[in-house]
C-alpha cells in the first residue's frame, strides 16, 4: 500500500488503529469471564469490519490495487468467521 503524505494522519492512521485494536481486544478479553470475553470479541469484530470499510475507501481513492484489496479482504473474512465461531462456543 502506498498512501500519499496527506493521508498519513487520516486514513492510514485509522487503518493502523483498527489493525492494532483487533488483536488487542482479544488479548484484553482473554483474561476475563466468558461473557466479558464475548464483548471484547464483539469489539474486535467491529474493528475488523471498520478495517474492511477503510480498505474499500483506500481502493476507491486508488491507494491500493484490486489484488491487494482482495488478499486482505480474504484474511479479514477468515478472521471474522473464526472469531464468530469461537464466540458461539463460549
Show the domains of the chain with their CATH numbers.
Answer: 5-89 (1.20.1440.60)
Q: Look up residue 51 and give its three cell numbers.
A: 478495517
pLDDT on residue 36: 94
- Give the pLDDT mean for 20-43: 96
Judged against a pLDDT cut of 70, whether residue 9 lies above it is answered with no
- pLDDT interval class at 29 (50, 70, 90): very high
Q: How far apart are CA 58 and CA 23, in angstroms?
A: 22
pTM of the model: 0.88
The residue whose grid cell reads 500519499 is 4
Judged against a pLDDT cut of 70, whether residue 45 lies above it is answered with yes
**Could you tell me how far CA 79 lies from the centroid of its own chain?**
9
Compute the half-sphere exposure of residue 56: CA atoms within 13 Å on the CB side of its CA. 8
Amino acid at each position: 500500500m502506498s498512501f500519499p503524505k496527506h493521508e498519513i494522519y487520516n486514513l492510514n492512521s485509522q487503518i493502523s488503529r483498527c489493525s492494532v485494536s483487533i488483536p488487542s481486544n482479544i488479548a484484553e478479553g482473554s483474561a476475563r469471564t466468558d461473557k466479558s470475553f464475548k464483548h471484547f470479541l464483539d469489539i474486535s469484530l467491529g474493528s475488523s469490519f471498520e478495517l474492511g470499510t477503510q480498505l474499500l475507501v483506500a481502493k476507491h481513492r486508488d491507494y491500493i490495487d484490486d489484488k491487494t484489496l482482495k488478499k486482505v479482504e480474504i484474511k479479514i473474512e477468515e478472521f471474522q468467521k473464526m472469531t464468530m465461531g469461537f464466540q458461539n462456543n463460549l
